[in-house]
Structure 1
Amino acid sequence: MKVGIFTSSTPIGAISPNRAQRAIEFLKSKGHEIVLGEMFYQNDFYRTGTILERANEINELAKEKIDLLLSSIGGNNTSSILPYLNYDLINKNIKAVCGFSDSSALLSTIINKCPDVKVFYGPALFPNFGEFEQESREISYNSLFNYPQQISYQGFVYDGEANWEHYEQPRQLKSLVWKSKNVNQDTNLISGVVKGGNLSTLSGIWGSEYAPIFNQGDILFIEDEDKNIATIERLFNLLKLNKTFDHLNAIILGTHKNFDDQKTCKQPIDVLLEVLNGQNIPILYDVNISHDKPMLAIRLNSLITIDFVQNKIINEWI
């Protein structure tokens, strides 16, 4: 498989060259051809380059026949490049795109403008394939490159950020089990087209031609990282005010890494239930399609079924 790497925001190649090498070698060891975008090692302080330079990186990659366009990492500024991408070329030459966090802006746009491209919310090069921990890399790799018919998880996620660029110490583990709310015997199996991404990123393109379009019966997927409870209430309320919840069959809520509860002892699921204010939408939560590692992948804009009895996701389009 030919994998093209784009770096549309944080200059991570310049910041973490050792992790870059680990990640590239890992994917090469799986038999993939890696094509680095021209911004991969560039550094313009908070970003890899100008808006037009970063857009041109993807346009240049799209001139090749790319099986998977893979994000290096997230950041804050991918949305800036959206008006300058060649969507006809992307739709013609790129089979699939994957990323998470700030890449949500690009993923949403590709769904809207490139109907022939498969879109995955899932692992990125540096965070997931540059790990020292082989088990974490393999779980994320198989979730994306061997996309399964069913997605479920009972196991662990890593606690903390040790071993990013250099190996420091064994990382602590914490157990993880997917959970559900607002479920009864009539809602054991819920189907719909899954849409969404990183909510703080999507809030920056909300109302534009690049934002997700929700239809009746859709399933909303959202996740975030490093936010406090006040910010999360504001983001969830954005969905309430825009009547997004009114369209939904179900919600998938990813784990929230480094969540600041501001001494409330509440979690994002508690805030979501309060904002819903009695809207009885079934919710699958604490799902590690998120910033936690190991991270799983999900194909956006695809038909899925959520089994709320076994807390798993069934992919109807493989």
Structure 2
Amino acid sequence: MKRGDFLKTFGLGAASLPYLGKSLYQNTPTELVKPKKLKRGDTVAFTAPAGIVFDENDFTRMKEVMESMGLNVVFGEYVRERYGYFAGTDRQRARDLNRFFSDPEIDGIIAVRGGWGCARILPYIDFEAIRNNPKIYCGFSDNTTLHLALLHYCGLVSFHGPNGTSDWTDLTKDSFESILMGAEKFEYRSNSKVEMLFPGIVDGRLIGGNLTILTTSMGTDYQPDTDGAILFVEDIGEPVYKIDRMMTHLVRAGLMDKVNGFIFGKCTNCPEPGGANFPMKEVLMHHIRPLGIPAIMGADISHDPDNFTIPLGLKARLDADNGFFKLLEEPVVRGKENSPD
């Protein structure tokens, strides 16, 4: 059946089709844009771009966490909506995000959680408005899609970091505050045991996120450019053979060809297999050692309680010999009153 016949048959006129923003996609920015830092008294907005938050107490807790940092809080109009396994329809979830980026009273935006659904709202996001109103966006897991899209379509530096429903441990909160409120060239030293996969020290742009979501970005127009990157990944609930399969896909698709360094955070609730299998570390070494690039595993980038806040697109240095990495530039823009002497 031809497309036109299909639309007539099912009553789908042009006006009912989703806005795909093709004109925006033809004008990919070439320069990165850093958002302004947060300061006490600023307002952060919580939005639900994907899954549902079922426990009302979670909303209370995320509000209290922000207020403990001196920040005011608002919640999206549709943040408590239910639509199947989504927090509202695709259009509703995108509407909250668009409104918060355009609203001059909102200084930063945080996802309440991940799950699944960020990719479905991309056709409805006003990337032009976001380009004109750059702000902090923070979240992880399924939010990897939004980070990659914001970087590709807007050149916006966004932040792979805690969701509203995260545990907000001391490490998680300190990283969030140091990066987004302190504008620090942060040094990421994990509480967890970090293991070296391949030695060396290297500089590169931080690119990455959830491994499953990163893999599904392959072949899309927001597929990340990893040339010269320090690629970081994490995941949850995946058996080792699936991690192997996804890493193989990244290698075969050429995503690893010109990567400068590699950081595997953690695979939360990913049990080591028994019997005739490979442990996680060995699987990672299968893929990393042939590349000969500095690499570590076990960093606090994960679905575990400790979770660093990491700016996508910015320059960093990975010291695989000593198991840490650090920013080489300030992650956010300081206000004039906060500029260093």
TM-score range, shorter chain: 0.7 to 0.9
Give the gaps of 5 or more residues in structure 1.
Answer: 156-175
Q: Paired residue for 2:338?
A: none
- 1:89 correspondence with 2:129: yes
Q: How does 1:129-168 map to 2 (within 5 A)?
A: 129=168, 135=170, 138-145=173-180, 146=182, 148-155=184-191
| SS of equivalent residue, structure 1 residue 310 | coil
Decide which of 236, 245, 255 is 1:225's aligned counterpart: 236
Note the aligned Cα RMSD (angstroms).
Answer: 1.9
Distance 2:150 2:248 in 1: 26
Conserved 8 A contact 1:139-1:294:
no
Q: How far is the alpha carbon of 1:191 from its aligned partner?
A: 0.2
Distance 1:295 1:276, change over 3 A: closer
Q: Paired residue for 2:265?
A: 254
Q: Paired residue for 2:147?
A: 107
Q: How does 1:175-254 map to 2 (within 5 A)?
A: 176-183=192-199, 187=200, 189-215=201-227, 217-254=228-265
Conserved 8 A contact 2:152-2:224:
yes
Q: Paired residue for 2:30?
A: none
Q: Paired residue for 1:8?
A: 49
Deviations along 1:22-78, whole A, 9 cap, x unmatched? 111220232212121122111223111111111111112122123222111100111
Decide which of 96, 100, 118 is 1:57's aligned counterpart: 96
Decide which of 1, 12, 26 is 2:65's aligned counterpart: 26
Q: What TM-score, normalized by structure 2, do the two folds share?
A: 0.78
Q: Which amino acid aligns with 1:30?
A: M
| SS of equivalent residue, structure 2 residue 51 | coil
| SS of equivalent residue, structure 1 residue 19 | helix
Distance 1:138 1:244, change over 3 A: closer
Distance 1:119 1:309, change over 3 A: same
Q: Paired residue for 2:287?
A: 275
| SS of equivalent residue, structure 1 residue 248 | coil
Conserved 8 A contact 2:215-2:246:
yes
Q: Paired residue for 1:42?
A: 81
Distance 2:186 2:238 in 1: 30
Distance 1:197 1:138, change over 3 A: closer
Deviates more, 1:46-55 or 1:59-68: 59-68
Q: How does 1:107-126 map to 2 (within 5 A)?
A: 107-115=147-155, 117-126=156-165
Give the gaps of 5 or more residues in structure 2.
Answer: 1-41, 331-341
How many corresponding residue pairs? 286
Decide which of 282, 289, 311 is 1:299's aligned counterpart: 311
Distance 1:179 1:17, change over 3 A: same
Q: Paired residue for 2:302?
A: 290
| SS of equivalent residue, structure 2 residue 114 | coil
Q: Which amino acid aligns with 1:311?
A: G
| SS of equivalent residue, structure 1 residue 259 | coil
Conserved 8 A contact 1:191-1:305:
yes
Conserved 8 A contact 2:161-2:310:
yes
Conserved 8 A contact 2:198-2:289:
no
Q: How far is the alpha carbon of 1:288 from its aligned partner?
A: 0.7
Higher Rg? 2
Deviations along 1:155-204, whole A, 9 cap, x unmatched? 3xxxxxxxxxxxxxxxxxxxx22221211xxx3x2001111111101222
Task: Tell me which protein shows more strand as a share of its residues.
Answer: 1
Conserved 8 A contact 1:152-1:313:
yes
Deviations along 1:284-306, whole A, 9 cap, x unmatched? 21011111112111111110011
Conserved 8 A contact 1:76-1:201:
no
Q: How far is the alpha carbon of 1:16 from its aligned partner?
A: 1.2
Distance 1:118 1:54 in 2: 21
Q: What TM-score, normalized by structure 1, do the two folds share?
A: 0.84
Distance 1:83 1:147 in 2: 32
